[in-house]
Amino acid sequence: MIRFILLQNRQGKTRLAKYYIPLEESEKHKVEYEVHRLVVNRDPKFTNFVEFRTHKVIYRRYAGLFFSLCVDITDNELAYLESIHLFVEILDHFFSNVCELDLVFNFHKVYLILDEFILAGSCKKQARSYDIRCRRNHRENGELEKQE
Amino acid sequence: MAGPSLMDSLFQRSVDDIIKGIRLSPPGTESTFIAKSLDEIRREIKSTDPQTKATALHKLTYLHSLHGADMSWAAFHSVELSSSSAHSHKRIAFLAASLSFNPSTTEVILLLTHQLRKDLSSSNVHEVSLALSTLSSICNPDLARDLTPELFTLLSSSKIFVRKKAIAAVLRVFEQYPDAVLVCFKRVVENLENGDMGVLSAVVGLFCELTEKDPKSYLPLAPEFYKILVDCRNNWVLIKVIKIFAKLAPLEPRLGKRVVEPICEHMGRTGAKSLAFECVRTIVTSLSDHDSAVKLAVGKLREFLLDDDPNLKYLGLQALAIVARTNMWAVLENKELVVKALSDVDVNIKLEALRLVMCMVSEDNIMEICRILISHALKSDPEFCNEILDFILLTCGRNFYEVIFDFDWYVSFLGEMARIPHCQKGSEIESQLVDIGMRVKDARLQLVHVARDLVIDPALLGNPFIHGVLAAAAWVSGEYIELSRNPFEIMEALLQPRTSLLTPSVRAVYIQSAFKVIIFCLNSYLKLNGDDPSYPSESTYSDVKSDYPGRFETVASQLLSDTEPDNPNMVVKHGQKPSVSSKMHHLTLESLVALVNLVETNLGPLAGSNEVEVQERASNVLGLIKLIKPKLLGCLDTREGDKANGELKASEMVELIFGAFSEDLGPVSLNAQERVPVPDGLVLKENLRDLEEICGDIELPLSTSFSLVKLQTMDATSNLEHHSKEEFEPSTESTSLLAEHRKRHGLYYLPAENAGIISNDYPPAHDPKDKASDETEDLVKLTEQSLVIKKKPNQAKSRPVVVKLDDGEGFKVAAKAPEFKADLISGAVQEVLLGNEATTSSSRRKSSKKSSKRREMDESNVGVPESKNEIVKADMPEIGFSSSGRRKHHGHGKERKHRSSGKDKVHDHKDKQKSEHGHGKHKSRQRADGALAAQSPVIPDFLL
């Protein structure tokens, strides 16, 4: 199960944070700080998985943004790694060439997309396989645009 | 309010304004800007105009989620706005709620119940989906209870988009309100048959989470899962289903046999690495007794290990570590890849590889592996270097050094490790050195050599990380000085000027060791020069014994047998090694005097040291020298002339101390303390009980080891208390003082529940300092129990004896009552799935009638859960059978023929049903099977 998802930039500023388990505010800030510390200095050649407390963080870096998913230790790393990519592709499609500022100014839309993507800690959209590039999900965006 | 509201709505700043404002504000002033905005928001949010309110809440949500502003105060406004008819307002309100509400602390959550209910039953799918998302993030038991009916309806919604969300959200509801399972579970199970991938993925995901917590309850659903496993081609769903089987298979071996084949098929067929890896992981964790499957999986793992992608390599190593537990060959086969991974750039991969390498360790290859690892340690960064050292020490020290055969090698290796520049594992090396000294008699000679090399090297004193190692080395050199080639050299090393760099506690060990060395030299001198008959070694011990008659009578034989090897050791050395005997030869009076002078000059200043330990030990040595020196000098002056009887006294004392030191120290069990009987007349308990009343609220740390000195203090205090209590009534003042004292020195008090069984006889064996704290009392210290040394008679041919205590050494683990907190969800699930399993067959019939009635009502899917009710009675056989039945449909009837005629009847009935309900074949068959099983109390094994 996904415990939380974080979007952070290289300076450690949180651009999106959604927790699927109840946490105290102070604990959230601590978690965000720790996750940033964990991922920020990792070489691109390193693995995308790091152990975090009793869970593991699966992260991916896109330009200056780190997308980190915290999942259970038994979860499938590769599948979640791919779902991060899918999420980014959806964002990219929605904002056409997404950049950090898009996410800042449209934070509510990002949360909406995220809610479509993950609900109650499980991915609803399935990523394609690890090495097959997934296609963009038009239907999803159609729905969102309808809501707008 | 209308005026300002209009003004507000006209001139209100938007979210974008806020964001821009924050971005434009000069560094450092952001917080003031945010504070100002928050003030604005507080004003605006009270507005009656929904637009103004929505914008204010939106801004607040932004500040909360990205800048950490507190918005718990605005909870009610979210609730208020959520009833707005405008979808955009509603969305803002629900977003704010889902981000800021805390299910357990936000009180206004319950005010949302009505709105959520309305939205869940709305015809607008977006409203429903919004409500579902919100519910899943703020769900608490009350909400879950109140909204279960709505959720139940949504679970079979015709809109796929809504249905899959409902399935995902139901997990939260189950968690918060387990009774919801009774209502919703059937519908959830029905969705397992849904053809839509989205729905299927949601429901499989749900079961994956549920199975994770308590697999057993979901065994009855295995046939459905099996069907998905065989039929489904969606990787995501397959991964989840395989995960479910990974949990179920260990519970039911026959299930393993069924699923291993399709899982292997998927593994071979799929191009998706994630699925392949899931198959591999499941095979190695849950199906590891299927050899051919494991072989296939290991083959796949090799592909992963050979891949350039670090992720795959990492996962491959991780999976290999799981295989290693059961199939070591798999690791050995990939040995070279694992060793290669040790030099990877990523520390994650290196660590995994290291773990694997340590798995491979056995008695035969330990030396080779350690050599490889040390060469890696020397090359790598400090952090990883220490990681390697840690692993080596842990593996080698495991279970009393069970992998070590050649202790001489290991002891030298420990010395080598201490010298690695980045080494920070001093304390672990320290305890192993001391521990080996005490446990492995045969390793002592080498140990003394290693210790000498460490102590003598002035360069090492500058590295604070290995001070612990030096302490151990100093202790070893002092304790086993009789094995040393040159005590004078050791003494010089122990007193070298750079020892001032040591921490006081380590320095104290150095001084104490010097004490031992000087005593040893003096004693050897006396023995050499003296009249051998007048100082036989036995007399030492008889002296000692007469001092402590009670304690030693019982131990005497043991003691002698223990010390004997030591003295003969020396004697043997005399004969064997010329170096040793020559050492004795140049032990002249002059050299001895020089030695004493050396000690005196070096330790003299330390008698004024600020550090208590150092000062005390130095004073001990100096005191002895003061006593001895005149005699020695007198001796020097007058040669053998007039031996004053004073010298006799001094020599007697040397003898006595030497006797105390030469007793062999053994390892002491950490539990030893408990076995010491309470001495007569020691009424510790009562006082402690009083103390508990006085300061019962103070939680005391239970110290596992404490030094003798402290114990004595404690004894004294408690005795004192005791007396004072007997003599006077304890005044309130004194009790409060006592409480104060206890508060401050809690460590020295025994915890009240410890029943006051104490003894001052057990200094922890691992702490060399403790030995030094008492000279003559050393002898008293080991009572019978701790001396009962278990020597494994036939441990190994060449391997030296490693002393282990007879009782389980190590920490006594408090018996934790395995308090199994019954999982409420699984309880409910079992209730649904097992139904009236426990009841009699008559009531069962009733229930099945009921179920058939219900079936009529419920058209879409024919009473699946009811069929489960019964199938569980038949339990696993059914699962395996029905799942196989789907494929081997024809073999079915034949298998059944083995059964009794009564069962055949049911079988017929079942066949009839089958023909009637062509659609629900699978389920009705299960039903029949279940009914059948209900009749027979003994579960037939259909698979075997």
Pick from A58-67, B802-811, B869-878: least confident:
B869-878
CB contact under 8 A, A112 and B19: no
CB contact under 8 A, B236 and A123: yes
Determine the longest span between alpha carbons in chain A, in angstroms.
41
Interface check A133 vs B, CB under 8 A:
no
Interface of B with A in 778-807 (CB under 8 A): none
- String of DSSP letters for B793-838: TTS-SSSPP--EESS--S-------------HHHHHHHHHHHTTTT
Query: For A129, which of B206, B237, B272 is closest by C-beta distance?
Result: B272
CB contact under 8 A, A1 and B243: no
DSSP run (H or E) holding B790: strand B789-790
Q: Which positions in chain A touch B239 (Cβ < 8 Å)?
A: 76, 79
Pick from B199-208, B316-325, B502-511, B663-672: least confident:
B663-672
Interface of B with A in 159-178 (CB under 8 A): 161, 164-165, 168-169, 171-172
Q: Which positions in chain B touch A44 (Cβ < 8 Å)?
A: none
CB contact under 8 A, B165 and A131: no
Interface check B21 vs A, CB under 8 A:
no
Taking CA–CA distances from A133, the nearest residue in chain B reads: B272
Paired residues of A59 in beta bridges = A68
Interface check A71 vs B, CB under 8 A:
no
Considering only residues B348 and B900, tell me which one the structure prediction assigns the higher pLDDT.
B348
pLDDT for B376: 85
Interface check A145 vs B, CB under 8 A:
no
pLDDT digits (tens, 9 = 90+) for B199-238: 888 889 889 988 888 888 888 888 889 999 998 888 888 9
Paired residues of A9 in beta bridges = A65
Beta strands in chain A (DSSP E): 2-9, 14-19, 49-52, 55-62, 65-71, 118-119, 122-123
pLDDT for B507: 87
- Reduced to 3 states (helix: H, G, I; strand: E, B; else coil), residue B1 is coil
Phi, psi of B337 (to 5 degrees): -65, -40
Shortest distance between the Cα of A99 and any Cα of chain B, in A, equals 16
Neighbours of A37 (CB within 10 A): 10
Burial class of residue A22 in the structure, from the number of CB atoms within 10 Å of its CB (0-12 exposed, 13-18 middle, 19+ buried): middle
> What is the residue type of B839?
T
- For CA atoms B249, B255, B261, B263, the dihedral sign is negative
Phi, psi of B309 (to 5 degrees): -65, 120
pLDDT digits (tens, 9 = 90+) for A88-138: 888 888 888 888 888 888 888 888 888 888 876 666 655 443 333 333 333
Taking CA–CA distances from B166, the nearest residue in chain A reads: A119
d(CA B103, CA B441): 63
For residue B356, the Cα-to-chain-centroid distance in whole angstroms is 19
pLDDT for A68: 92
Taking CA–CA distances from A74, the nearest residue in chain B reads: B243
Q: Which positions in chain B touch A82 (Cβ < 8 Å)?
A: 274
> What is the residue type of B536?
P
Interface mutation vs chain B, best among A60, A78, A103, A143, most B CBs within 10 Å: A78
Q: Cα angle at A53 between A20 and B243, to 5 degrees?
A: 65
Chain pair A-B, CB pairs under 8 angstroms: 142
CB contact under 8 A, A124 and B209: no
Shortest distance between the Cα of A94 and any Cα of chain B, in A, equals 18
Query: For A129, which of B205, B273, B345 is closest by C-beta distance?
Result: B273
pLDDT for B582: 42
- Rounded to two decimals, what is the model's pTM? 0.66
pLDDT tops 50 at residue B818: no
pLDDT digits (tens, 9 = 90+) for B234-259: 888 899 899 999 999 888 888 888 88
Do the beta carbons of residue B418 and residue B472 sit within 8 Å? no
Q: Which positions in chain B touch A121 (Cβ < 8 Å)?
A: 171, 209
Length of chain A: 148
Do the beta carbons of residue B311 and residue A78 sit within 8 Å? yes
pLDDT tops 60 at residue B534: no
d(CA B33, CA B30): 5
d(CA B319, CA B278): 10
pLDDT tops 50 at residue B309: yes
pLDDT tops 60 at residue B76: yes
pLDDT digits (tens, 9 = 90+) for B722-757: 444 444 444 455 566 666 666 665 555 554 444 334
CB contact under 8 A, B234 and A20: no
pLDDT digits (tens, 9 = 90+) for B772-789: 334 334 333 433 333 333
d(CA B452, CA B488): 11
Interface of A with B in 103-122 (CB under 8 A): 104-105, 107-108, 111-112, 115, 119-122
pLDDT tops 50 at residue B917: no
Shortest distance between the Cα of A43 and any Cα of chain B, in A, equals 8
CB contact under 8 A, B201 and A126: yes
Interface mutation vs chain B, best among A76, A85, A106, A131, most B CBs within 10 Å: A76
Do the beta carbons of residue B291 and residue B252 sit within 8 Å? no
Shortest distance between the Cα of A70 and any Cα of chain B, in A, equals 15
pLDDT tops 70 at residue B70: yes
User: What is chain B's mean pLDDT, rounded?
Assistant: 70
pLDDT digits (tens, 9 = 90+) for B821-849: 446 777 777 777 766 444 334 444 444 44
- For CA atoms A84, A86, A90, A93, the dihedral sign is positive
pLDDT digits (tens, 9 = 90+) for B855-909: 344 433 433 344 444 444 434 444 433 433 344 444 344 444 444 444 444 444 4
Interface of A with B in 41-60 (CB under 8 A): 43, 45-50
Q: How many angstroms separate the first and last alpha carbons of chain A?
A: 30
Taking CA–CA distances from A1, the nearest residue in chain B reads: B209
Residues B431-449: b if buried by 16+ CB within 10 A, e if exposed: bbbbbbbbbbbebbbbbbb
CA distance readout (Å), B652 to B147, B348, B543: 90, 63, 10
CB contact under 8 A, B348 and A108: no
Q: Which of B98-112, B242-256, B911-925 has the highest mean pLDDT?
A: B242-256
pLDDT digits (tens, 9 = 90+) for B622-674: 888 887 777 777 655 544 444 445 455 667 777 777 777 777 666 676 677 77
pLDDT tops 50 at residue B544: no
CA distance readout (Å), A71 to A49, A80, B201, B278, B322: 10, 9, 18, 15, 20
pLDDT tops 60 at residue B584: no
Interface check A27 vs B, CB under 8 A:
no
CB contact under 8 A, B273 and A78: yes
Considering only residues B807 and B384, tell me which one the structure prediction assigns the higher pLDDT.
B384
CA distance readout (Å), B841 to B134, B529, B816, B910, B933: 45, 98, 40, 19, 11
Shortest distance between the Cα of B570 and any Cα of chain A, in A, equals 55
pLDDT for B242: 92
Q: Which positions in chain A touch B136 (Cβ < 8 Å)?
A: 119-120
Taking CA–CA distances from B129, the nearest residue in chain A reads: A116
DSSP run (H or E) holding B86: none
Among B293, B297, B350, which Cα is nearest to B319's?
A: B297
Pick from B155-159, B325-329, B926-930: least confident:
B926-930
What is the mean pLDDT of the segment spanning B4-17?
A: 68
Interface check A34 vs B, CB under 8 A:
no
Confidence of residue A57 (pLDDT cuts 50, 70, 90): very high
pLDDT for B635: 59
Interface of B with A in 122-141 (CB under 8 A): 126, 129, 132-133, 136-137
- Reduced to 3 states (helix: H, G, I; strand: E, B; else coil), residue B257 is helix
Considering only residues B563 and B520, tell me which one the structure prediction assigns the higher pLDDT.
B520
d(CA B863, CA B860): 9
